[in-house]
Structure 1
């Protein structure tokens, strides 16, 4: 069989997969979980990667992870290695982490610091803006270095959050409006004056959508997350249909304090994809530690009180976040395969906070280490059950699982839209 024959078979199979994906999404029953293949089929997973993770804006990391010239971190979006680096002017750039010579990864470490980007294979050298500086005389006199700079990934920052997009033309929709609001709501935290205190990488044997679905409801919290519910109120936001009047009264009391301090808090939504809202924690609780007491002795930014609740930031398809007075926690979800996902959690504190004096990393991470592992088990058991020949889509509760419904609707609409473009 010739190369062209193989290529034709591959193209035909992708067309078949796209048609199958379209049919499954168009015929899915509203407010029900998805058909089995959308949770475990490798071919349809490839469609997810191409239509969601290679076309949509993704949360990559925080600007304070790379505070100085030459600081970088890397991430893997499916089979696409990406490099995020700060240049000499302080700008943050994202590049495809692949050399323009023969494609080798430039940076193999998770994070580091460089003067220039040097390929370890044949030492082609690029500056921090991606320009090719050195390729050796072996390439000949006619070789044009200007035509062989690194390929950029699109990159935007707001409020310390770094977002990247691998598409040649990034979707616009209302993303810039979200970024403007994120900048406003994150201003009190002064992210540039924070630092990464600790991070974890959790490997979960479950489809990425099951990871997000689990996050988008607290229906399971009472039976699964005792550590988390020491401090967290289970209501999703101020629009949660389950929220009793006692909670709304408590929120209004907290909101009056935040208004007096000039701290943004009101619910802001941008379609089904992005949401920001500041929510109070349980009464008397400062932050989301195991006992509700402070996690760091240095407050962030311009906060003068620990009682700032948790500002929740949702960004589909791959991030949720909890921003608090003395530390904040960001979560990033990256698919590995149809039934494997990597969940990265990062804790940030004031840049002048001293480990072992102002904060204890183990204390900071205790609640979410426990919660993440509990969610991992739930997700993996969910995946095992879905893989059964006995699985069929089941109904979501419109009251307790409205966040899941919103996610599945966003996912379905986005995939269908991108497939048709």
Structure 2
């Protein structure tokens, strides 16, 4: 019997409908997703403030690739494959830390922070250390957010990078620190995690704390262009324009990324139960308390909120066909003092609860899709417009990259 491929399933999908069962849970599709998306696209990795000084490092796992990100003595942030060039030991097993050099725990091969091998004991005459530096991974710090790409030739960022730097500049991410980090495992396919994020159709029934400040009315987040949105959004953009705050809707032609600053519900200031700012010492140069949230997403693995008092940055990484790691960082001004300028529970309450509520939603979604009785249903064109955009982007990328390549004539 001929096995249905990922390309076949994508070709057979009904536009405007959820994906078929195996696209959410088969081993083959998971491998195809890694090879064609996670190993080829720019991935959000960490906030730059996670590696604040020389020797600071952070690690992550992208499919089968362990990666280390480190700040060098020249201030530059670099990424390398977290694999010793001697016998393949994982160089740094810790999630983060600070070291003056990168030293393999197995045989103490030692690398400088720029990846050069500077010490390898008893390797014999003729050993050329210059041939055994760490293998680099493409790495960019864009406005305080660090992206990596596993591909030999990464996609261009000439359109996104200047817009990101412009829109993020008022948040002053270079002068922030991580106040809290949460990492959870959601027992669902990475696409279900992203789909769930791209709609608020479920918010009223699932997110009571979030809905105090974030509207589940799709008109409040639906935008067609920099001058086409609901009256409330347009009024907010006019106010931001007057204050010199970048705000209007900009996006990738295929909606791979989007930036826009949107008002919170009823003139609230931040994602807290009270709606008031969580941090007294404000971030960057946001000109007024009710500036709302600069919302930024980038497929395949991040969505983010940049407020006047703090920022919440999210990263997802697939770890199996039906498991996804979700990491959330709360960023505050680097001089903000816990217990003085902010209360940690007040700062994190809304999104800790929202993340756990989303975890439950995604896991129940995955349980249902695993059933042989599952059949894709239609998306709401009003409530799930963002989901449709994501699924169309995913299917477009995969269809192009999985299609047979013509053989050149001799």
TM-score, normalised on structure 2? 0.94
Q: Does 1:182 align with 2:167?
A: no
Q: Does 1:91 align with 2:76?
A: yes
Q: Deviation at 1:235?
A: 4.7
Aligned match of 1:6: none
Specify which structure has the higher proportion of helix.
1
1:67 and 1:352, CA in 2 relative to 1: closer, same or farther beyond 3 A?
Answer: same
Structure 2: any 5+ residue segments left out of the alignment?
406-410
Structure 1: any 5+ residue segments left out of the alignment?
1-15
Give me the whole-angstrom Cα distance separating, in 1, the residues matched to 2:140 and 2:283: 23
SS of the counterpart of 1:345? strand
Give me the whole-angstrom Cα distance separating, in 1, the residues matched to 2:8 and 2:124: 53
Q: Deviations over 1:260-307 (max 9, x none)?
A: 221000000112100000000012311111110111001111124221
Give me the whole-angstrom Cα distance separating, in 1, the residues matched to 2:396 and 2:212: 37
Alignment of 1:17-416 (within 5 A): 20-137=5-122, 139-172=123-156, 175-235=157-217, 240=222, 248-271=230-253, 272-416=255-399
* Aligned residues: CA RMSD: 1.7
Give me the whole-angstrom Cα distance separating, in 2, the residues matched to 1:235 and 1:333: 25
Q: Deviations over 1:125-156 (max 9, x none)?
A: 0001101101112x211111111100011111
SS of the counterpart of 1:176? coil
Q: Deviation at 1:26?
A: 1.2
1:317 and 1:50, CA in 2 relative to 1: closer, same or farther beyond 3 A?
Answer: same
* Counterpart contact for 1:233–1:280, Cα < 8 Å: no
Q: Deviation at 1:236?
A: 5.6
1:296 and 1:39, CA in 2 relative to 1: closer, same or farther beyond 3 A?
Answer: same
Runs of 4 or more consecutive aligned structure 1 residues displaced over 4 Å after TM superposition: 235-239
TM-score, normalised on structure 1? 0.91
Q: Deviations over 1:20-59 (max 9, x none)?
A: 1111111111111111111111122111111111111100
Give me the whole-angstrom Cα distance separating, in 2, the residues matched to 1:349 and 1:377: 28
Give me the whole-angstrom Cα distance separating, in 1, the residues matched to 2:13 and 2:177: 44
* Counterpart contact for 1:295–1:359, Cα < 8 Å: yes
* Counterpart contact for 2:220–2:232, Cα < 8 Å: no
Q: Deviation at 1:255?
A: 2.2
Give me the whole-angstrom Cα distance separating, in 1, the residues matched to 2:70 and 2:401: 29
> Size of the alignment, in residue pairs?
398
* Counterpart contact for 1:227–1:367, Cα < 8 Å: yes
SS of the counterpart of 1:347? strand
Give me the whole-angstrom Cα distance separating, in 1, the residues matched to 2:51 and 2:75: 10
SS of the counterpart of 2:230? helix
Q: Deviations over 1:113-134 (max 9, x none)?
A: 0100000000000001101101
Q: Deviations over 1:56-98 (max 9, x none)?
A: 1100011111111111111111121110111011101011101
SS of the counterpart of 2:275? coil
Q: Deviation at 1:241?
A: 7.2
